[in-house]
């Protein structure tokens, strides 16, 4: 399983726009083959910073999503709202308690 974490820093005036965009697209993201979990997290001390946290069956499943037209369209709309460049990590879970 691959865990994908994406950190996004939004302009304050675009937070509501991003929330609406995520709400409109989350079910389609979650329905992609291999996506087992999707969460949106907000930093407690910096409300303009959000993270997406997703579980994928394999790196191939994640790549299939990331190279899709749906992702390209969604990411283009999301990037337009950023205050700073996003950061992303693909992680291999080593343990879970």
pLDDT digits (tens, 9 = 90+) for 18-75: 999 999 999 999 999 999 999 999 999 999 999 999 999 999 999 999 999 999 999 9
DSSP one-letter string for 36-64: EEEEEEE-SS-TTEEEEEEEES-HHHHHH
Global model pTM greater than 0.85: yes
Q: Is residue 7's pLDDT more than 90?
A: yes
Nearest one of 89, 94, 97 to 62, comparing CA atoms? 89
Average pLDDT over residues 4-31: 98
Instruction: Give the H or E element holding residue 84.
Output: strand 82-92
Q: Name all domains of the chain by residue range, CATH numbers in brackets.
A: 2-56+78-92 (3.30.70.100)
């Amino acid at each position: 399983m691959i865990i994908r974490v994406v950190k996004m820093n939004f302009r304050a005036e675009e937070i509501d726009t991003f929330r609406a965009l995520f709400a409109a697209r989350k079910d389609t993201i979650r329905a992609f083959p291999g996506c087992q979990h999707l969460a949106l997290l907000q930093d407690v001390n910096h409300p303009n910073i959000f993270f997406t946290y997703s579980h994928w069956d394999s790196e191939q499943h994640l790549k299939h999503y990331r190279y899709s037209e749906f992702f390209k369209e969604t990411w283009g709309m999301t990037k337009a709202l950023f205050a700073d460049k996003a950061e992303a990590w693909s992680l291999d879970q080593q343990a879970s308690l």
